[in-house]
Amino acid sequence: MDAISVIRTKRDRGELTPEQIDWVIDAYTRGEVADEQMSALAMAILLNGMNRTEIARWTAAMIASGERMDFAALSRPTTDKHSTGGVGDKITLPLAPLVAACGAAVPQLSGRGLGHTGGTLDKLESIPGWRAHLSNEEMLHVLDTTGAVICAAGDGLAPADKKLYALRDVTGTVEAIPLIASSIMSKKIAEGTGALVLDVKVGSGAFMKTIEDARELASTMVALGTDSGVRTVALLTDMATPLGLTAGNALEVRESVEVLAGGGPKDVVDLTLALAREMLDAAGLKDADPEKALADGSAMDVWRRMISAQGGDVDAPLPVAREQHVVMAPSTGVLTRLDAYDIGVAAWRLGAGRARKEDPVQAGAGVELHAKPGDTVTAGQPLLTLHTDTPEKFDYALGALPDAYDIAQAGTAFTATPVVRERIA
């Protein structure tokens, strides 16, 4: 077997054999296939695609490159959620303890933000003392004692994906749906959860800009999970507008705690409950009532135990940025659009995100929203508040916002897009 013949097969729109896929993933992980050769293959896959058989084998080969976790010893059924990423997407924070409060075990392996999309681990690290990196034994202990754990994936889980993901990021091949799907699903299947709910974002702030692309990605991932024996369902959810009223790290933690306390923005609560119901149903807990678990404080109790178990001080004040800048509404009328991508870029430029994986983030940086589409605003009222520790970043962030919103004249009819757009199973 050699890399050139594998590249030529896909370059010429051929179907890769199982033997070719197994060999190239293993050889690339071991360093026998060079980065430039895997780059050529990734580009050929981007241009010519893969069929379901190829994608399934590619995913299996990436899983086989590392370890697989096993939660069979737990007394609860396991269920997990994966989001393809967005702006203000803090849903994992209230969702994991909520589902655990309803009787499931939630092993949530999460990631960090890159560019305009936020990362769950960055948000939680704004809590003093909280640790993202746990050994497998520590992860199982937290999961067993609290019902939920949110942590970083270990290096032993699908190492082929870690190497290939970094390569795709610098070779213009991130958009290849077969590679996106196999990247996500190799980690989730290797994680060992019994059920999986996929939150596939669609809109300006999402990776998938159109409903058609989101549907294709969701269908591919649902098929991969199903073929691997994991009960899998996907929701296509709106990401044209940021979720909730904050985009940032500590800002989003604060908002998540409001949801767990029985308040919070309606769109965040609605999506959290929708995903919780899907996760519980997939885990065989159809009679559980997540709305009740939010109302009676049991989800908050799990949150406090889960954060404490990972070293976090749940009673410590969250970081607050040293500087703020208020953006005023330029006119009176109905806010008809608030662009998720532009808000995400502004938050990133303020220090809430990173351009490279090794860059630091500011815990208190981000954007606070004072209105959402459909709200009536008055000229001169606060529309956005920008938060950062470095005021020289304000002009840079403001440069992302001139076209971030539209205000129509008062009385203009407005129809909101539902937060859940489609379900794919």
Q: State the pLDDT at residue 166.
A: 83
- If asked whether residues 305 and 329 sit together in one domain, one would say no
Q: Say which CATH number the domain at 400 has.
A: 3.90.1170.30
pLDDT value at 217 more than 90 = yes
Our CA angle for 373, 376, 382, nearest 5°, is 85
Active site residue 168: yes
| pLDDT tens track for 58-74 | 999 999 999 999 998 89
Task: Decide if 233 is inside a domain.
Answer: yes
pLDDT tens digits for range 79-102: 999 999 999 999 999 999 999 999
Among the listed residues 83, 110, 183, 256, the single catalytic one is: 183
Residue type, 190: A
User: From the candidates 187, 215, 277, 387, which is the catalytic residue?
Assistant: 187
pLDDT of residue 169: 78
Q: How many CA atoms lie within 13 A of 375 on its CB side?
A: 14
Active site residue 187: yes
Q: Are residues 254 and 289 in the same domain?
A: yes
- How far is the C-alpha of 132 from the C-alpha of 346, rounded, in Å? 26
Return d(Cα 166, Cα 111) in angstroms, integer. 14
Assess whether 116 carries a catalytic annotation: no
What is the span of the domain harbouring residue 162?
79-309
Q: Which of 25, 22, 19, 24 is nearest to 4 (CA)?
A: 24
> Quick one: 287 and 330 in the same domain?
no
Annotation marks residue 305 as catalytic:
no
- Catalytic residue selected from 161, 199, 267, 342: 161
pLDDT at residue 146 greater than cutoff 90: yes
250, 279, 309 - which closes a domain: 309
Neighbour tally for 328: CB within 10 Å: 13
> Do 25 and 171 belong to one domain?
no
Q: Among the three residues 309, 336, 367, which one is the final residue of a domain in this structure?
A: 309
pLDDT digits (tens, 9 = 90+) for 102-135: 999 999 999 888 778 889 999 999 999 999 999 9
**pLDDT of amino acid 284:** 96
183 is catalytic: yes
Let me know whether 327 and 303 are in one domain.
no
Residue 330 has a CB neighbour count (10 Å cut-off) of 12
Distance CA 221, CA 55 (A): 10
**Inter-residue contact 302 to 106 (CB < 8 Å):** no
